[in-house]
Amino acid sequence: MDFASYYLELFEMLNQACKKIASGHYDQKDSERLFELAKRERYPSLLADLAESFGMMMVKVEAREFSLKQAVDELETTKAKLENRLQCNNQATKG
């Protein structure tokens, strides 16, 4: 494999991983591939820098999604409690 083909293959691997991450349909294998490409001692620095940047974005998006899910769960719990109290109050005023 020549030098140009090697670089193109590496950037295509990075591109495919980034596309999956952007679509929200990625798994542990995709994350591992991305962080593997971020190894500066093994891969060209430009590629490693890009892979590291996308990896950090992925981690931040995952953290944000987790935080949002917790907030939604908390809001749903609070809503259910409020609806229950309202129903109890309505029954108390009728009875």
DSSP string, 17-40: HHHHHHHT---HHHHHHHHHHT-T
Cα–Cα distance for residue pair 43/54, rounded to 1 Å:
15
Stated pTM of the model: 0.73
- Give the tens place of pLDDT for each residue, 21-69: 888 887 888 888 889 999 999 999 999 999 999 999 988 988 999 999 9
* Domain that includes residue 7, residue range: 3-94
- Total domains present in the chain: 1
Widest distance between CA atoms in the chain: 85
Cα–Cα distance for residue pair 81/87, rounded to 1 Å:
10
Q: Is 3 exposed, middle or buried (0-12, 13-18, 19+ CB in 10 A)?
A: exposed
